[in-house]
Amino acid sequence: MYFEDDDVLGGTPKSRFFDIVFHANRNVVTKELEEMIEWMAALELIVEGCGLNVEDEVKKVIFDESKKEELQNRINSLYIEYMGKILSQSE
């Protein structure tokens, strides 16, 4: 899915995410960023546990033209997911 700047969110998922991060409660944002890092570390352990090199596998996905759209959709989905988590704790 491709997002234009004038979509429902009032910008791209990335731009809206950063708007929220820069204006939300610092404690809430810190907690969510810590959880994101923990999640990434766990995923790295899983990949390494499969006998794969994390950096090589990530680069394969990032630079694989056939996965560009799927990767961008996943990135947008994560921006939206974490926006929701931050906003739901900021009310």
Alpha-carbon span 49 to 20, nearest angstrom: 35
Tens-digit pLDDT string for the chain (91 aa): 445 554 555 799 999 999 999 999 999 999 999 999 999 999 999 999 999 999 999 999 999 999 999 999 999 999 999 999 999 998 7
- pLDDT score at 1: 46
Alpha-carbon span 40 to 45, nearest angstrom: 9
Which pTM does this prediction carry? 0.82
Q: Among 58, 84, 90, which Cα is nearest to 71's?
A: 58
Number of domains forming the structure of the chain: 1
Is residue 5 in a domain? Answer: no
In which domain, by residue range, is 48 found?
13-89
Q: Among 36, 20, 15, 22, which Cα is nearest to 86's?
A: 20
Is residue 60 in a domain? Answer: yes
